[in-house]
């Protein structure tokens, strides 16, 4: 009797992923646990010729919503180079949570005769039933991702309405201490100086030149990835955005709504309003907000009204105005 022919060795790659960086610095983290389970499964299939390759494909702190992950891209490059026969993951959502992305991956795997195995979910991608099972699992994975996204957005909206800072780039003049924003005196003085200089210079371009002469640079930021940003001269666009930031008067803006913030303001409201008036973002005087009136420099009141016959903004020279100011009719003299 002839002995059975030896099975061809199948080169197995393990892919692991964790969505957040929480606890990644532990000696034994989630990525290690996923890899250990996959290694044990591959050893159990040694009789089928499965052999683990040494290259590690670990993505820590990266979402499964997209394929833009360094380790995953390295794995896909090895697949295209015919260096991998089987890809093992702990769960299918470790590879991706998107049905569209998964369809692209399966097509690539098929083109290069690569099998895909989830060690905690029994299926085989080479059969139609296995593909159906995968699609059902990924449908739930995508649904879970979308529900989590909705919950996060709802939490951010509720926090913003309460004036709570919920993270993101820290504005110049503040520092994060215990998840709360506190004023940095030196930076706060720079903020006040920039607003004051704008009132003196009269334009954003002139302000940018003046800040360059005074060597006042933008705030330098270093991200968790090690990438740094800022620390250079202010551009006109960045200054325009800076000058309309209501955060400096203690407000929190969210989707067109303004809420009182928990943080301490750096600017007084009179200075901020004067800057907005000079920039043309609001009309001067409290009466304007209450009654739709604007006050001219000579003291005369003007009532704002839309142009009756033209939906396009009224254009005068290079400036475009959506509102036209007309003199308020004076009372008839008493006879």
Task: Show Cβ contacts of residue 142 under 8 Å, excluding neighbours closer than 6 positions.
Answer: 97, 98, 99
pTM, entire model = 0.47
Q: What is the C-alpha to C-alpha distance for residues 90 and 136, in angstroms, rounded to an integer?
A: 17
Taking residues 251-256, report their average pLDDT: 85
pLDDT in tens, 168-215: 788 898 988 888 889 999 999 999 999 999 999 988 999 999 999 999
**Structure tokens that stand for 133 in this block:** 């099972």
What is the average pLDDT value for the chain, to the nearest integer? 79
Kindly report the three-state secondary structure assignment for every residue of 279-294.
HCCCCCCHHHHHHCEE
User: CB neighbours (10 Å) of residue 219?
Assistant: 16
Taking residues 305-319, report their average pLDDT: 41
Return the higher-pLDDT residue of 94 and 330: 94
**Structure tokens that stand for 36 in this block:** 């250990």
Q: In this predicted structure, what is the pLDDT of residue 284?
A: 59
Taking residues 293-302, report their average pLDDT: 42
Q: What is the C-alpha to C-alpha distance for residues 139 and 291, in angstroms, rounded to an integer?
A: 54
Return the higher-pLDDT residue of 15 and 93: 15
Q: Is the pLDDT of residue 317 over 90?
A: no
Return the higher-pLDDT residue of 223 and 147: 147
Q: In this predicted structure, what is the pLDDT of residue 85?
A: 93
Q: Is the pLDDT of residue 73 over 50?
A: yes
Task: Note whether 262 and 163 are within 8 A (CB).
Answer: yes
Q: Residue 260 forms beta bridges with which residues?
A: 251
Q: In this predicted structure, what is the pLDDT of residue 303?
A: 40
Q: What is the C-alpha to C-alpha distance for residues 47 and 6, in angstroms, rounded to an integer?
A: 10
180 phi and psi angles, rounded to 5 deg: -125, 150
Q: What domains are there in the chain, each with its CATH number?
A: 10-155 (3.40.50.1390), 162-282 (3.90.1750.20), 284-312+320-328 (no CATH)
Q: Residue 99 forms beta bridges with which residues?
A: none
Question: DSSP character for 82?
Answer: T
């Amino acid at each position: 009797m002839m002995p059975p022919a030896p099975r061809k060795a199948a080169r197995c790659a393990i892919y692991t992923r964790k969505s957040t960086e929480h606890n990644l610095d532990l000696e034994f983290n989630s990525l290690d646990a996923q890899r250990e389970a996959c290694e044990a499964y591959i050893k159990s299939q040694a009789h089928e010729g499965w052999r683990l390759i040494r290259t590690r494909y670990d993505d820590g702190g990266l979402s499964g919503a997209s394929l833009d992950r360094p380790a995953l891209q390295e794995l896909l490059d090895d697949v295209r180079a015919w260096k991998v026969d089987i890809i093992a993951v702990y769960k299918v959502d470790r590879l991706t949570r998107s049905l569209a992305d998964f369809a692209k991956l399966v097509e690539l795997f098929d083109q290069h005769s690569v099998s895909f195995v989830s060690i905690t979910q029994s299926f085989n991608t080479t059969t139609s039933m296995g593909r159906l099972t995968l699609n059902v699992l990924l449908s739930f994975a995508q649904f879970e991702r979308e529900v989590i996204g909705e919950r996060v957005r709802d939490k951010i909206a509720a926090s913003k309405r309460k004036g709570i800072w919920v993270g993101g780039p820290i504005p110049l003049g503040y520092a994060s201490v215990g998840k709360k924003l506190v004023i940095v005196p030196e930076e706060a003085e720079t903020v006040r100086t920039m607003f004051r200089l704008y009132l003196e210079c009269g334009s954003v371009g002139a302000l940018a030149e003046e800040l360059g002469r005074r060597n006042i640079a933008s705030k330098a930021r270093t991200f968790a990835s090690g990438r740094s940003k800022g620390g250079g001269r202010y551009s006109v666009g960045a200054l325009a955005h800076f000058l309309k930031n209501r955060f400096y008067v203690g407000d929190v803006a969210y989707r067109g709504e303004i809420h009182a913030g928990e943080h301490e303001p750096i600017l007084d409201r009179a200075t901020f309003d004067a800057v907005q008036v000079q920039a043309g973002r609001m009309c001067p005087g409290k009466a304007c907000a209450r009654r739709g009136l604007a006050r001219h420099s000579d003291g005369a009141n003007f009532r704002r009204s839309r142009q009756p016959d033209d939906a396009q903004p009224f254009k005068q020279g290079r400036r475009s105005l959506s509102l036209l100011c007309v003199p308020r009719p004076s009372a008839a003299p008493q006879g």
